[in-house]
Structure 1
């Protein structure tokens, strides 16, 4: 595990493989290890000839964990990703994001198109624009004294996940307040890079992939069969679609 500093915060990251870089941005309450290593993504990317870069977002894993909600706007978190690419001296990379990580990837692709060769939005469909309806329930669940008191299924699901990963629940609650900031429809239309929008068939959190793909200049939808939001992350069909997309837009063997 290595560290770099961005905007006064410390970030943990890991890098594996050799080849064109793929920056992997994890989802809410997760970490680089849980989202990308444990699910086999790093092994898959390295095996396909890519350099896999994982890191812990602010508020997560081994990175700094501010409790101020103003620290978690997605545009700020996108700058952390740029900081890591600069630290590693990669001028350009493909970006793979899941859920909150896909929202960050969208803000990154909008603000720094020169840095992003292609992007994969996993677990984030049209709700990139519409926002997350269950956010306040998730915040309440993270701050609840006991998990036994939680009745809302999504809040309970994320509280279990946060406890399982040993997360700082107050940092996560602050993150949820602002990281779910919707992206303006007009800004989505301005994203220039190729984007794969991959959503689980039973995902009720992300919104459908097709409407978002239609708004993007170069969007491609993909439905991950028989998967919900939590179980789609490491799905084989998702990985296969991602590799096929990267092979067309940012092939292994290509200079970054």
Structure 2
């Protein structure tokens, strides 16, 4: 069933928790903007947003009372996006630096073993983490309408719509094309763009305008090796895949087919009629799925800790 858009403003959100924001320095000195909210004694969830946008796109999940009751949440602006630094040199986008950004955010909020939530392009960060951070801090991976990693798989999981946007998103010379593409890009996130709350829509367009075309080119061509990600999957790290049948950007069924064989613990939640930005129209389904997954991961980690004698702090 199609859901109405969430239009709640931050001033309407009655919660005893207030976000704590920090700007942390990555290994190359790049400023990375991050926020945390909730009870730090709860299981931790770190969220990475989609291409051209920012952590603000997670507002509906980040301020949801059900989530706050159960999870300590951290979100951050990927490099090249939002309030984080936006370098335009290729070496600033290698996989190890993305992992360093993530480590800086973890350390800033004292996060140990945790669940990672990657939406759309943000899902690629799991590949960086697994390839470069040891021991692996991920107790579980949740992907929402994801691009699994940068590489040839983009042509398989990307729809003609999102692949058709790429020339405009990376164009640094055709201003009219660049602007119109970003507006169309935002429209494609939902089933009914005409019904999208005006403040929300203009916020997302504004976020997209902060994302330089040179950066769009770099992040869609940066080298990633999924070998360690797949190794983590074979070692039993759980993966939750959330996707919608009406997603105009990512072919969820293809992601399932391509990634499923690499994960021993692979859970799929297909949302009938679901769009690309699932929380905007299907928040209840997203929250329900995330909380169920986090609780399952906590149980698994507790059992592993008892079995191995390790100190898990999820």
Interval of TM-score (by shorter of Structure 1 and Structure 2):
0.7 to 0.9
Q: Which residue of 2 aligns with 1:145?
A: 175
Residue 76 (1) aligns with residue 97 (2): yes
Q: How far apart are the structure 1 equivalents of 2:294 and 2:73?
A: 13
Distance 1:45 1:144, change over 3 A: farther
Residue 196 (1) aligns with residue 240 (2): yes
Q: How far apart are the structure 1 equivalents of 2:118 and 2:148?
A: 15
Tell me the CA shift for residue 90 of structure 1.
Answer: 1.9
Q: Which residue of 1 aligns with 2:10?
A: none
TM-score (norm 1): 0.81
Q: Which residue of 2 aligns with 1:157?
A: 185
Tell me the CA shift for residue 196 of structure 1.
Answer: 0.5
Max radius of gyration: which structure? 2
Tell me the CA shift for residue 206 of structure 1.
Answer: 2.5
Is the Cα contact below 8 Å between 2:53 and 2:81 reproduced in 1?
yes
Is the Cα contact below 8 Å between 1:72 and 1:179 reproduced in 2?
no
- For the residue of structure 2 that corresponds to 1:57, the secondary structure is coil
Is the Cα contact below 8 Å between 1:21 and 1:53 reproduced in 2?
yes
Is the Cα contact below 8 Å between 1:26 and 1:98 reproduced in 2?
yes
Q: How far apart are the structure 2 equivalents of 1:176 and 1:250?
A: 38
Q: Deviation string for 1:232-251 (max 9, x for gaps)? A: 24422122111111110126
Query: Which aligned pairs between 1:83-94 and structure 2 lie closer than 5 A?
Result: 83-94=104-115
Q: Which residue of 1 aligns with 2:18?
A: none
Distance 1:168 1:47, change over 3 A: closer
Q: Which residue of 1 aligns with 2:137?
A: 115
Q: Out of 92-101 and 242-251, give the one that drifted further.
A: 242-251
Unaligned runs of 5+ in 1: none
Give the number of the structure whose residues are more often helix, by fraction: 2
Unaligned runs of 5+ in 2: 1-20, 188-200, 303-311
TM-score (norm 2): 0.68
Q: How far apart are the structure 2 equivalents of 1:108 and 1:45?
A: 28
Is the Cα contact below 8 Å between 1:110 and 1:190 reproduced in 2?
no
Q: How far apart are the structure 2 equivalents of 1:214 and 1:42?
A: 34
Q: Deviation string for 1:189-225 (max 9, x for gaps)? A: 2124211111221224323242112322322222122
